[in-house]
Amino acid sequence: MPDPAAPAPVRKFHLSLNVSDLGRSVAFYRVLFGLEPAKHHADYAKFEVESPPAVFSLVPGRAGGGGSLNHVGLCLLSSEELVAIQLRLEQAGHKTLREDGVACCYSRQTKFWVRDPDGVLLELYVFHEDIDDHGDDHAPDADLSALMGGDAEKDAPAVTWTHQLSEPVALPLPQDANSVQEVVLEGTVNASPTSFDLPALLKEVLRILKPGGTISLHGLAGDRPLTGSCPSLPGPAAAVQHVPDFPGLIPLLHTAGFRNARLTKLSEKGYFEAEGVPLREVLITATKPGFRSSKKDQTLVYLGPQAAIEDDFGNRFVKGAPQTVNVHDWQALKNTNSSAFALLKTEVATPNLPAQPQPMPAPQAKSKARYIMIGGFLGAGKTTTVGRLARHLSDQGLKVGLITNDQAGGLVDTKLLRGQGFATEEIAGGCFCCRFNTLVDAAHKLNDATKPDVFIAEPVGSCTDLVATVTYPLRRMYGDDFTVAPLSVLVDPVRARRVFGLDQGGSFSSKVAYIFKKQLEEADIIVISKSDLIDETQREELREVLSKEFPLAKIVAASPRQETGLDELFGSLMSGEQARRNPMAVDYEVYADGEALLGWLNATVTLKSDDEFDANDFLKRLATNVQGRLQLAGAEIAHFKMTFSPDDGIGGELASINLVRSDYIAELGMELDEPTTGGQLIVNLRAETDPAALVEAVKTGLGEVSTSFFGLQATLDHEEHFRPGKPVPTYRDGELVMETKGGCKPGSGCC
């Protein structure tokens, strides 16, 4: 008789893979599934996977590469399971490629890709919701195969058009629309403005580029515009007829219709000087917007003169007849012959395509600069949001000055923001509340140098009570100089769901959580940042909790990394006023205890190698190594970020990595295009643990990871590790607390 206690049989999907080396493949799938093979012989191995129910068998002695197999997919039940498997594979040395909240196969998914030892492509994903967009851009195509190191046949050579400074330009360009993958303008920005129209050329470049294609501007630029004629320069630079200011080049690209323009190279010292202005080598890259979605949401009418025409994408337009196309095709038509069409209806743009920029409201009074403070706990995404806002305002023609803040010097955020070309001042040695006078001095210093229309300040991630100690005193004492925007506070949704008991997972102790909640309590706007990391149901659950806990705050969901949901936030920050209400009650003893539970480490490291090494790979390995050590010690990481600047690169080149929770995957934000022989590494690490444990984890990690790279030496040049001292604000709600230089009590640890 059957055993009634035995589990009911389950139908299982079976997949048999040809493998070239059975032992190597068994080792890989052992890590992937986190279990031992059910059978393992010299000529066969099998894994019995319970969730999802599947049988994976491995047969050796055959050709590898998967044959006609496209890829293998595993649908998982939760994001936590997805992260755990990816982390397990990364720690075992396997390269993965993560995609958050992407459109794929008519659904929204978060996933990562990995290849097994024979090159079989595996897709592990979590399903979020059904959508109308197929999402072909995220299918496992040749580009993905190349990124994942596969052996797929190489694509046809990329079509590139290059223009040199000495060459003439005839507009329109002879290339067909959407026919070129890359355009390189080598010195073109240094041609005489009378020889051709640069904005017109950029619009032509946008026309000929394929969706997602790139443009590069390389040349000589100044820190600010020259007032006189271009100077005569020696040597090869004698061909330079015009020197633009580099801060004005990125807005020029955005005006032409490009997106994601960024300064990738900027020499620290000028090669030449004119009118006291250093002339630096500059390289700026940008991309043509998005892929062509299958979703048609733009209704056009062709007005003539011909009876009918067909565009480059196969859309046929009969004169006078409505025709529906997608956003991308309409953008292409607008850049060529928009006067021949009438747009009847515009629906919501597809998520992957940026909306057309709308003019931002100007500061409320021309004589006053606007002060915007973007707060939030460590790892909430403040620096990314500050960079996005600064770029957005710059595109509207406004001058922007940035102020960063940390308990110690050597801040990764400052390096990243300066690398994007923004004027940035750093306030170290304490939070804004304790360094109020220094904050005002930094604003005046920026004002003297660049006269910003808008100041954006990013406070320390463990700081709260900012309204009573910073913005109220600022408005009262310097109301003639500044208008104060609503205080926005960013919140990591995964972290927030754990703090408010919606999800299980690593979190902070009660006193650290006290600071986390107090930051939200004083916010005028609470931003559910990184909203792409959770699904719609989870977002609504979190929104309900935040609305109930903090009824005075406006709740906004956004993803600064994917640049979605930001228009509402940016509009509020530029048009609204900070709410006038009584300052919240703060128990400074609990606040101080909470900060004192956090370990703080800032360090600079010199990397030097006998041979070239991959700095991107080094950052990923070091982050994973340190993360594993802190996990074993039971430390909860609040924020771990690093930047690397190569000695053999040009100023402004950076690689960066970021980790915001102990059970998450460290992600590269910026990458170097080429190997390097050395440079400077900046490490910022904050976690709820003994600061000495942070130093030990980083030192040991540096030693171990360096041995993986031939001839690489890592030298710790400087480090500061400590617990923040009790905050002693200079002012609170207009009451003078103390008059110490710098605003802090000496020896308190705040300064």
Q: How far apart are CA 286 and CA 252, in angstroms?
A: 11
> Maximum distance among all alpha carbons in the chain?
99
pLDDT less than 50: residues of the chain: 1-2, 62-68, 136-143, 145-147, 149-156, 291-294, 345-366, 734-751
* Residue 276 DSSP symbol: T
Q: Residue 734's pLDDT is what?
A: 46
Q: Residue 608's pLDDT is what?
A: 93
- Where does residue 251 fall: left (phi above 0), alpha (psi -120 to 50 degrees), or beta otherwise? alpha
Query: What are the φ and ψ backbone dihedral angles of 86, each rounded to 5 degrees?
Result: -65, -45
Alpha helix stretches (DSSP H) within 245-338: 249-256, 327-337
For 8, counting Cβ atoms within 10 Å of its Cβ (0-12 exposed, 13-18 middle, 19+ buried), the class is: exposed
Q: How far apart are CA 572 and CA 374, in angstroms?
A: 12
Q: 750 with 727: CB under 8 angstroms?
A: yes
Q: Residue 409's pLDDT is what?
A: 63
Dihedral sign, Cα of residue 701, residue 703, residue 708, residue 711: positive
Q: Residue 12's pLDDT is what?
A: 61
Is the whole-model pTM more than 0.75?
A: no
Q: How far apart are CA 133 and CA 128, in angstroms?
A: 14
Q: How far apart are CA 316 and CA 310, in angstroms?
A: 4
Q: 443 with 419: CB under 8 angstroms?
A: no
Cα separations in angstroms, 329 against 206, 308, 618: 13, 17, 41
Strand partners, 59: 18
Give Cβ neighbours of residue 217 (< 8 Å, ≥ 6 apart). 185, 188, 189, 249, 253, 282, 283, 284, 285
Q: How far apart are CA 553 and CA 540, in angstroms?
A: 16
Q: Residue 703's pLDDT is what?
A: 92
Q: Residue 156's pLDDT is what?
A: 42
At 343, which helix (H) or strand (E)?
A: strand 341-346
Cα separations in angstroms, 117 against 64, 72, 88, 537, 718: 9, 14, 16, 38, 41
Q: Residue 503's pLDDT is what?
A: 87
Q: Residue 32's pLDDT is what?
A: 82
Helix axes of 510-521 and 588-596: crossing angle, nearest 10 degrees: 120
At 212, which helix (H) or strand (E)?
A: strand 209-222
